[in-house]
Copies of this chain bind each other. A is one copy, B any other.
Amino acid sequence: MVYSIGQLSKETHCKVPTIRYYEDIGLLEKAQRSAGNQRRYTSQQCQRLHFIRHSRALGFSLDEIKQLIHLQDCKHHDAHQAHDVAQHHLVEVRNKIEQLKQLEQQLLTMIDNCDVDGSDDCLVLKSLNEVSEKGN
């Protein structure tokens, strides 16, 4: 099976300029070209792009994905390196969730305070104007 860039795009739900971008930064190897200089992809490359998109959907950065791909290509890697990358990413995701939950609470408090008040001024603005001496 040989794919044009448009076909690959449909297959992987990855936009055409994004595919070219991945090639530019060396995440996808340079595609073969047709007689007229158009990109032609193999199933292997399609598989790799699936891997990249799947990883992106899980929130891995392009840099992390580069590492994962390297681990895949390097036969003699430590079995647990990919595991470590994933583990590290999990920790980051959990931190992010914690941060956002705190944020949610602060927003809620702000909005609720405003609801209680029947006055002309929205307390949201007042609340944002209060200098929080706590954070850093």
Residues in A lying within 8 Å of B, measured CB to CB: 13, 47, 50-51, 54-55, 57-59, 68, 71-72, 79-83, 85-87, 89-90, 93-94, 96-97, 100-101, 103-104, 106-108, 110-111, 114-115, 119-122, 124-125, 128-132, 135-136
B111 touches A90 (CB 8 A): yes
B-side contacts of A13, CB under 8 Å: 136
10 new A-B contacts, CB < 8 A, other than A79-B119, A83-B122, A90-B111, are: A47-B129, A51-B128, A54-B131, A59-B103, A79-B120, A83-B124, A86-B110, A86-B111, A86-B114, A90-B108
CB distance from A134 to the nearest CB of B (A): 10
